[in-house]
Structures are given as structure tokens and as C-alpha cells.
Amino acid sequence: MVQQGLPHEQLAPAWQMLLLGDGSPTRHLQLLTGEPTEVDVIDMSLIGDDLDNAPDLIQRVPGPRLRRQVWLRTASGQRLAYATSWWEASHVDEYLQNRSLPIWASLTRLRTELHRDVQGIYYGYSTALELAFEQQGPFWGRHYLFWHHGQPLTLIYEVFSPYLTRYLGNMP
């Protein structure tokens, strides 16, 4: 169902392109806002083989794992998304040489070829996210695997700010 999209009454086409497309969300956010997308790293922690309350696909990422949590924001400071990614700890430095850059920027610099495999989307409310985004919910989110050379590279979970309705239109 995720690969085919949702009825437009459930999710507007522009939101489907952001949530279900296989392009880079940091690149899309930059194109939408006209500002560079910057990263505020909240945390980078070794979690070992812990499943970390992540989507079940975390088991596809070899352990021990490292968890990276970030805010994606405009250069002027507007938070647009929250993201968590889980990496095989022994390989994270190969792909995130500058950990303050968005994943897309790091992988583009390395000319890394990937496949983004969207596996799930979410719709809901969160008081913590409302406070952090300074926007009332509901929120749309997704999780996906990045594949590289036929192997899972990282699992990524993202939640987008309702602020994006000014660029993408209202959510149904």
C-alpha cells in the first residue's frame, strides 16, 4: 500500500511526494523553503544490539548500532523535521564523515548510490513534538531503509512539522 500511495482524500499529492517519494527530504525541504537545510544533532549514542523502540526493521541493520537523532531546520532556524537514524557502529564514520551535515549531503559528497525503501508512514499527535516544532499536530512521519550494494545501510525514522503546510498545502 505504501508503494502505491494513498487516496488523495487521505494524503494530498504534495505530501505524498514528500512522504512516499524516494528523493532526499533534506533536498526537498531546501527546495520548498528556498533556504539551506541544516542539522542540529541532538544525540549520537552507541546502543549496541538494543532494539531502541525502533521500527522492527532495525533488526536488518547489523549491530552493534549507533543511533543519531537530529532536527532538520532552515538556516534561519525554523524546525521542519525530526529524524532518528540507526547505523552499524563500525561503518558510520565511512558515511557520516562530517556528522553535522544532513545525511543526504554526506552521501552526495561521497557519491554513494542508494535505494530508499519506504516501509511505513505515520499520522498522529505528540505533545513533545508540538512543543519542539511550536506547531500543533497532527504530524506525518515515515520510516525507511537505505540500501547500498544490496545491503541495508541505515534505518531512518522522520516526522515532519505541520509548518510545511505553507508549502505543501493543508493535510486532509
Q: Tell me whether residue 123 is in a domain.
A: yes
Between CA 14 and CA 6 the distance in angstroms is 12
Q: Is residue 23 part of a domain?
A: yes
In a domain, 21, yes or no: yes
DSSP state letters, 107-162:
HHHTT---EEEEEEEEEE--HHHHHHHTS-S-EEEEEEEEEETTEEEEEEEEEE-G
Residue 1 domain flag: no
Domain count, the chain: 1
CATH number at residue 49: 3.40.1410.10
User: Counting runs of H as helices and runs of E as strands, what totals does the chain give?
Assistant: 6, 6
Position 4 in a domain:
no
Question: Is 8 part of a structural domain of the chain?
Answer: no
Residue 80 included in any domain: yes
Mean pLDDT by 10 residues, the chain (172 residues): 66 81 82 92 93 94 93 95 91 64 54 71 94 94 86 90 91 66
In a domain, 86, yes or no: yes
The pLDDT value recorded for residue 3 is 60
Kindly report the pTM of this predicted structure. Answer: 0.86
Residue 108 contacts by C-beta under 8 Å, 6 or more apart in sequence?
Answer: none
Give, rounded to a whole angstrom, the gap between the first and last alpha carbons of the chain: 18
Range of the domain at 163: 13-168
pLDDT for position 1: 44
